[in-house]
Amino acid sequence: MANCVQCGRKLPPFSFGRRKCQWCTDYEAAQRGEVSEESVQKVMPVPWTGIGSGGRTITQILAGINVAVFVAMAMAGVSLTEPTIQQILPWGANVGPWTLGGQWWRLITYMFVHSGIIHIAFNMWCLWDLGALCESLYGPWTYLALYFISGIAGGIASVGWHPGGVSVGASGAIFGLAGALIASFKLGEFSLPRTAISGVLRPLLLFVAINLIWGFASTLTDNAAHLGGLLSGAMIGALVARLAPDRRAMGKRVLVLGLAAAVVAGGWLWVVHMRL
């Protein structure tokens, strides 16, 4: 479905050849004096205008926690390049038998544990860019909920696919941010021209494609966590874009995030049932 090049609103289905919505067409006609003064233009919902506003507060906090945990691990003697499983287990790594055996909190802590300086450097670079974009688009609290729901979903997918494996890192949550942005930019109505949206969407798709391909080619990368985060983030991004783009509509946002959390919780119960 195409968008109006003037305001970003969705055009009706089968609008072949049209580039502007009816609202913009009527508005421009009124500006040119081509309609009577008694004519009243109907009110239409304003496209999403949140992109580009807001800071990096939550992104800075999340990155700061990740870095602080890594520094603490290094000071405790954990290797900076190739830490062993025995070294990262006490710090909250997502370990299938332990997580499924009752230590569910590892689905949260594993997001802040990294297996070496290259691992955390790449993840924090991605978080800094994608996180800032998400924070400006969704607002701080929706963004924070998106981050944790996606990260937890990635952890669940990891233990479901590799029940005996070990998973660490923020990449599941980061893939969730990418999935949410892709879904929102694809389905949302923005006040930006479609060319500007496409300029952001293409690099996101390329980022996801390259990293998934690399993950399937590498035996060290947990692509299950990537896919779990990606799909859960895309679900949240799509629901927010279609049902609650206005961050002031807190009731709708809470409903959307609650629904996403319920789906993820259902996935956890299913994995526990299947693996125990």
Looking at residues 103-109, what average pLDDT do you find?
Answer: 96
Range list for CATH 1.20.1540.10 in the chain: 57-275
State mean pLDDT over 252-265.
Answer: 96
Contact by Cβ (8 Å): 190, 48: yes
Lowest-confidence pick of 13-22, 85-94, 141-150, 179-188:
13-22
Per-residue pLDDT band at 16 (split at 50, 70, 90)? low
Q: Is 152 exposed, middle or buried (0-12, 13-18, 19+ CB in 10 A)?
A: buried
In this prediction, residue 219 carries a pLDDT of 75
> Does the pLDDT of residue 236 top 90, yes or no?
yes
Q: What is the pLDDT of residues 161-207, one digit of tens each?
A: 999 889 999 999 999 999 999 999 888 877 666 666 777 788 889 99
pLDDT at 203: 86
Residue 106 sits at the vertex; the CA angle it makes with 82 and 155, to the nearest 5 degrees, is 80
Cα–Cα dist 111/173, whole Å: 7
pLDDT at 43 exceeding the cut of 60? no
What's the pLDDT tens digit per position in 91-100? Answer: 999 999 999 9
Q: Comparing 54 with 111, which gets the higher pLDDT?
A: 111
- In degrees rounded to 5, what are phi and psi of residue 222? -90, 85
- How far out from the chain centre does Cα 195 lie? 22
Q: What is the CATH number of domain 57-275?
A: 1.20.1540.10
Token pair belonging to 228: 């779990």
Catalytic residues: 171, 226
Kindly report the average pLDDT of the chain as a whole number: 87
